[in-house]
Amino acid sequence: MKITQYKDIESFLFKQLPMFQRVGPKAFKKDLKNIQQLDALLDHPHKAFKSIHVAGTNGKGSTSFFLAAALAELGFKVGLYTSPHYKDYRERIKVDAQLISKSYVKRFVNDLIERGVFEGKLKPSFFEITVAMAFSYFKEQRVDFAVIETGLGGRLDSTNIITPVISVITNIGLDHTQFLGNTLTAIAGEKAGIIKAEVPVIIGREQKETKAVFHRIAKQLRAPLTYTTNNPQIEQQNLDQLPSYQHENLSTAAATLHRMGMSLTAEQWKRILTKGLTKWGFVGRYQRLSSSPRVIADSAHNEMGIKTLFNELESEAYEQLHIVLAVVADKDLDLVLPYFPKDAVYYFSAAQIPRALAVAKLSAKASQHGLSGQNYTTVPRALAAAKRNAKHEDLILVVGSIFTVAEIV
């Protein structure tokens, strides 16, 4: 069976064993056997290029984009693998800021079908197929470097078959606790699973709860460990171009490059921040969508991310805050809702994915935390209502998950 239309290829991919981004916990796998077998079948494509592996609770996507844009600015051919996507499945796999071609996606999937991969015992998941596709595409494109973002955790993440030239862990917070553990120490242990023997590792944030874990594992593996705070920072004039919560991620990227023996001038960083990130499709991170009314979209979805977001909002001047909120069902809302201001006007909704929390359940839980508003069937309708109600001096925030933001960017 050969699939000829790209839209049918996408449908075929989405129908494979459940992907976590859509259905949540039941998609999680507890070992790397599948991806290892698939990788062997494809002749170990990840060995054909140098890689940088990025994990962490928050900021790993941003840090990955910063690294890819910086390496491209330095003249390298760069692959970037991130997840999930906002609009187009192909956003997950890029080379030199260009999406993987539809023809390659079709060719890759049809090749697996012809080999009988989906009819045997292997039956790879959506995520495993996509990781293998990324590695194969980067090999074919002969990239110099590939920046690889983990999907979930680190130790058991499908990307963790690589041996990178350097590993990066941005920070540790409480997220996906049903898989990674319910303490920062336990989660740090899972994220530290990307540390490889004698491969340098950069830690983006020094945290007392996780420091001992990273030092113990790095010592066992003889992996040189460096904290971002101990490395040269980006020039302040370039940091000023970003929301303050991104300063740490940018500095982590710079520290990573510094450890690799690379550096950029102030002018190069300026080009990256003004043009490079846009070229690479950097969206959904404190993204200003309009000015009248002012609309900011942010993909923050866990306790650390939400807290950081509202700290950033304190630098904004506005009369009334309007919040469009939609979340996924497996989040512990009792951890995040206390950070939401009670004097904001709320527009509750649900993203159009199976994993979404029903809007009635969201508004009921929000009410328990003193947050009140109206329910809307879709995120675009909720945003439209917020725009109708907002005055010129007001601010609209769209938040809750990547899937929430994806429906309006």
Are residues 281 and 94 in contact, defined by beta-carbon separation less than 8 angstroms?
yes
- State residue 100 phi and psi, 5-degree precision: -55, 140
5-9, 174-178, 289-293, 300-304: which is most confident? 5-9
- Collapsed DSSP state (helix, strand, coil) of residue 321: strand
Q: For residue range 112-163, what is the model confidence (pLDDT) as tens digits?
A: 999 999 887 878 888 999 999 999 999 999 999 999 999 878 888 999 999 9
Residue 29's pLDDT band, with cuts at 50, 70 and 90, is: low
324 with 386: CB under 8 angstroms? yes
What pTM did the predictor assign?
0.90
Q: What is the pLDDT of residues 200-221, one digit of tens each?
A: 999 998 888 888 999 999 999 9
CA distance 89 to 136: 16
Model confidence band, residue 182 (pLDDT cutoffs 50, 70, 90): low
How many helices (DSSP H) and strands (DSSP E) are in the chain?
18, 14
DSSP for 250-285, please give it: HHHHHHHHHHTT----HHHHHHIIIIIHHHTT--SS
Q: Tokens standing for 259? A: 């450890």
Over residues 12-39, mean pLDDT: 71
Cβ-Cβ contacts under 8 Å for 30 (sequence gap 6 or more):
156
